[in-house]
A and B are shown apart, each in its own frame.
Chain A
Amino acid sequence: MKLTTKTSLTIIVILAFAVVVTNFLNYYKYQSTLRELVQSRFVVVGLDIKHAIEGSVNLGIPLSQTENTQEILNRVKAGDAQILSVEVFEIAGAKGNRIFGTNAAGIGQEVPDDWVKSAERTDSSNWQFDEDEAFGVGIALINNFNKSIGGVVLRYSRAYQQGKIDAMFQALGQTVLIVFGISCILAFIGVYVFFRPISTTFARMTASLSSLLSDETPILTAENAETPEEKHYAEFQEKTRKVLEILREAEDQGLVADEEKP
């Protein structure tokens, strides 16, 4: 492999490392920002539902008997294609039961214990969870006595976000390829220019050495040597040439002696 190729490849590997890591940092930042934004939007939607339900509860109506809750949930789901389901659960002892929901089949069923625990936590009014097909946010329902009585849980499409994230990954990837490609070309050109004196010098010295070996007139001499390396080489070549001459002369004489043998 040529010197320029080796050096260019080293620089390219470093560039690749820097560009790829930076790109991943950007990508992860996009992912987290998008997720934060979408999630906070659905928290706002969930808080709206919470305020509507708590308004009724605070008037003394039991949670399970709040009349318009199911209607609100249906309206919210219909208003946003990304919303997969909205449900309201009521805490009874250590368990929670779905009492309203956009998915009729789930009503009356128990909710995961984590939801109940999260709804009863006092340090935060909402929680998040991940499922295979959906992301979700939950918001605690609090009564007049500041006690958790249940929660609103809103599931929204994972595919929507994943689609955007994948598209961004491709877009960023394309930019990286273009930038990286241009940088590689520049690296090759730069390295080629910087290495030209070395490459030329060694090419000339190698050619001259080859001509010396094949008993031809060397192309590099003390007169046309340009760089310090070539000058040093020319000195070396001159001395080597003399030694070779002596050896060849001695060989020739040996040959003459051979021929003169009786």
Chain B
Amino acid sequence: MADKSATFVGPIRVRLFSLTIILLLLSLLAVSADALRQFEADLVPEMDRKAVAVGQSLEKQITRGLNYGIPLEKMRGTEEFLDVARKSHVEIKYVAITDRAGKVLFSVGDAPTGLSDHLSESAGEGFPSGQSQAIGEQLLSALPLIAGVETVGGLHVGIDQKFVQNKLEDIIYDVLIVLLVSLLITFELLLFLMTANISRPMESVHMLMSRVEVGDFRQNLAHDSRDEVGRFITTLNGLINEVNGHYMQMQRRVSEFLTLSGPDSAEIRKKLGAHISQLLNRVHFAKDGTPEVVREKSLVDVRTPMFIFIFAEELSRSFFPLYVSDLYVPVPGLTQEMVIGLPISLFMLFVAIGTPFAGIWTDRYGSRRIFLTGAILAIAGFIGTGLAPNLYHLLGWRCMTAISYALITMACQGYIVAMTTAENRAQGMAVFIGAIMVAAICGTSIGGVLADRLGFRVTFFLSAGLALVSAIFVHNTFARHIRDDGDEKPPLRFAHFVALFSNARFAVLMLFGAIPAKLILTGFLFYLTPLYMNELGHSQSEIGRGMMIYFIAMVFGTPIFARLADSMGLQMLPVIAGGLLAGGGAMVLYLWNDTLGVVVGLAALGAGHAMSTAPLISLVPIVCAREIQNIGQTTVLGVFRILERVGSVAGPFLTATLVGVFGSAYAIAALGAIVLASTVMMALFFAAAGVRPRGPAKEAA
């Protein structure tokens, strides 16, 4: 069925995406080109005025010298004096003093092409002031230098004609970020639109027509659109209802006939009976004439709202620690660095605590209700965070947002679990993780751009708006009664943690693999990158772009490394290689404590995590084969998920402590050293003990 709809949908999606890219590029190009034209028309006269002001200031001081009787050509230190003026104003490229014939006596900066002709011409006219002329790539203003009543020379100030263009080039990266984010949003929305309006209804139509072809008239399709596909479905449902109606009518008449007819109608009875049994052998009708209404579901239902919600959450990623430092108040027993890390740690803690409960509530009340509850809390949390007057309010609102995060992620996971089988669940989860990563790229990068212009607080209000949009999506698309009808999940107990930690392999994997990975993620990426890049003098937009590197490496690296690891049948090697890369990358800051070091560190962290995250999870069932037999894989993975968050919670605190001791750059390097050392210890342990448990593995097999 899917193949049949793919004949339409696949090419159209590609064409629509191409059309959107072309329209976006052309629109942005047109808007930017026009902005440059208008800026030049408007700003060049301002630059000219400034050049005249600088010229007048220089002229006054030179005239003072002339009035003391010093000849123009003998003024000492003139070039140094002119150079100070030139260097104080970025748009001024050239300053020169000429004699009355236009011969250059002193000059600093780059002379524009065609200068000498202009100077002789200007000298001939007596260096008319107030008229700047475009000479080569500069706009040249002239002022006469007068000793007493006699013009002894001219002062010339050249401004860079490309200054406005260069100013606009400052925002080229921001415009590119807008383009990238627009394209990613386009991809997400078109995916949703095409799936919800074409692919899914068409698959349903094909399914229904195929059922009818084999004589099954027992189902109708649920739909609520009034487009071409919707109208067709309405007519199709009408046909099925008509067939069932005819059958019901026929049945009624036959039954009336059989009740009323006498024994002489045996021939007709026989004929009728033959007709009906022939029909019922080939055709199935709805029981009471009312077909069952079926609604097709899709993973895109969950992908789009999840994308929007994570986008909202990630908008503040690039500036959150800076926002916290704005609201800083001393907290007894904690250093300033620790206080700034506190909201991130608390957020992670509440996500960790909230996740198991959110899972239970999702099972009990359904994904739709839990998502909507989470979205309401998120909206309140974002608005509250944006309005927080001090740190304590901020902590409260962030805890609320953390709970909403736990509720929403668990609601989405619950929806995926309910919609998938054990065979295609991994694919379903990949859809979920893909949405998170793409949203993280978009949110982190555009969040920085928005915070730069609109401020931190307004960006939180935008997050609240996006959370509302995600809630509207879920309200309209999530099936009302969808639940996971799979196996009953046992609640997590303390005994499960004890049982798993008594497995040395699990303990080592946890303590030296999973926890350090989360530790460096929250410590380096979430907490210290914004603070350190700000310390290096970067704008919010630049910080957002820097952090985006991590997510890009994850998005592109994860599938590549996962395929590579699967094809080679490796799990432990990518985990160790990833740990070494992430730790080693961060240690680069020890040598290069500058922007390049941060960029290399983030890229290595992203690539390292792309390499190790999926194999690390796939190692859990291997090292815990015995425990899985006893308490089940879901429980084991649940314990793993909760315990790894210990690293997320501890990350900002540990990093803050390291910053207090070593400073920002060396703190990142120290985090790298911790991850590197943990990975080496884990590698040594598994080299000695082996990945698979020896005795129990056989039992398990």
Contact = CB atoms under 8 A, between A and B. Distances in A.
Interface of A: 1-3, 6-7, 10-11, 13-15, 17-19, 21-26, 28-30, 33-34, 37-38, 40-41, 44-45, 47-48, 51, 164, 168, 171-172, 175-176, 179-180, 183, 186-187, 190-191, 194-195, 197-199, 201-203, 205-206, 209-210, 212-213, 227-229, 232-233, 235-236, 239-240, 243-244, 246-251, 253-255, 257-258, 260-262
Interface in B210-254: 210, 212-213, 215, 217, 225-229, 231-232, 235-236, 238-239, 242-243, 246-247, 249-250, 253-254
A250 B213 contact: no
Contacts of B282: 243
Given A199-B228, A243-B279, 17 more contacts: A1-B226, A3-B197, A3-B229, A7-B197, A15-B27, A33-B167, A37-B91, A41-B53, A168-B38, A175-B31, A209-B232, A213-B239, A239-B212, A247-B247, A249-B275, A250-B275, A257-B272
A38 B57 contact: no
Among B189, B231, B250, chain A packs the most CB atoms within 10 A around the CB of: B250
Given A180-B27, A187-B23, A254 B257 contact: yes
25 contacts: A1-B226, A10-B189, A10-B190, A14-B185, A15-B23, A15-B24, A15-B27, A15-B182, A19-B27, A21-B446, A26-B171, A34-B46, A168-B38, A172-B35, A175-B34, A198-B8, A206-B235, A209-B232, A240-B212, A247-B246, A247-B279, A254-B250, A258-B257, A260-B265, A261-B257
A11 B276 contact: no
Contacts of B34: 172, 175, 179
A183 B232 contact: no
A172 B272 contact: no
Contacts of A179: 27, 30-31, 34
A202 B232 contact: yes
Contacts of B15: 190, 194
Contacts of B20: 11, 14-15, 187
Contacts of A253: 268, 271-272, 275
Contacts of A29: 39, 167-168, 170-171
B243 A243 contact: yes
Among A17, A190, A202, chain B packs the most CB atoms within 10 A around the CB of: A202
Instruction: Please give me the 7 A-B residue pairs with the lowest Cβ-Cβ distance, nearest first.
Output: A202-B228, A236-B209, A254-B253, A26-B35, A18-B182, A247-B246, A41-B50
B190 A171 contact: no
Interface size classification for chain B: 35 or more
B193 interface: yes
B16 interface: yes
Interface string B28-51: 101110110011001100110110
Among B35, B43, B167, chain A packs the most CB atoms within 10 A around the CB of: B35
Contacts, number: 258
A178 to B, nearest CB: 8
Contact of A232 (B197, B206, B227, B260): B206
Given A3-B228, A17-B185, A18-B27, A26 B32 contact: yes
Interface in B69-91: 89, 91
A209 B186 contact: no
Interface stretch (B133-141, B173-181, B325-333): B173-181
B209 A209 contact: no
A203 B28 contact: no
B399 interface: no
Contacts of A254: 250, 253-254, 257, 272
Given A24-B453, A232-B206, A253-B271, A244 B7 contact: no
Contacts of A23: 31, 35
Given A7-B16, A171-B38, A199-B228, A186 B60 contact: no
A1 B228 contact: no
Contacts of B170: 29
Judged by DSSP, the binding face of A is: helix
A44 B35 contact: no
Contacts of B334: none
B227 A3 contact: yes
B164 interface: yes
Contacts of A48: 56-57, 60
Contacts of B272: 250, 253-254, 257
Given A175-B34, A247-B279, A254-B272, A209 B239 contact: yes
A61 B410 CA distance: 77
B449 interface: yes
B198 interface: yes
B202 interface: yes
B250 A251 contact: yes
Nearest to B227: A3
Nearest to A55: B64
Contact of B178 (A21, A175, A236): A21
Contacts of B197: 3, 6-7
B262 interface: yes
B250 A247 contact: yes
A91 B273 CA distance: 116
B279 A6 contact: no
Contact of B164 (A33, A202, A260): A33
A248 B197 CA distance: 35
B184 to A, nearest CB: 10
Contacts of A6: 193, 197, 227
B179 to A, nearest CB: 7
A22 B236 contact: no
B689 interface: no
Contacts of A227: 7-8
B610 to A, nearest CB: 28
B113 interface: no
A22 B28 contact: yes
A84 to B, nearest CB: 17
A111 B262 CA distance: 118
B42 A168 contact: yes
Nearest to B268: A257
A44 to B, nearest CB: 5
Contact of A198 (B12, B46, B178, B271): B12
A233 B262 CA distance: 44
Contacts of A19: 27-28, 31
B492 interface: no
A187 B19 contact: yes
A164 B42 contact: yes
B482 interface: no
B421 interface: no
B105 interface: no
A22 B35 CA distance: 10
Given A47-B57, A176-B31, A194-B12, A33 B24 contact: no
A180 to B, nearest CB: 7
Given A3-B198, A203-B228, A209-B235, A236 B212 contact: yes
A175 B35 contact: yes
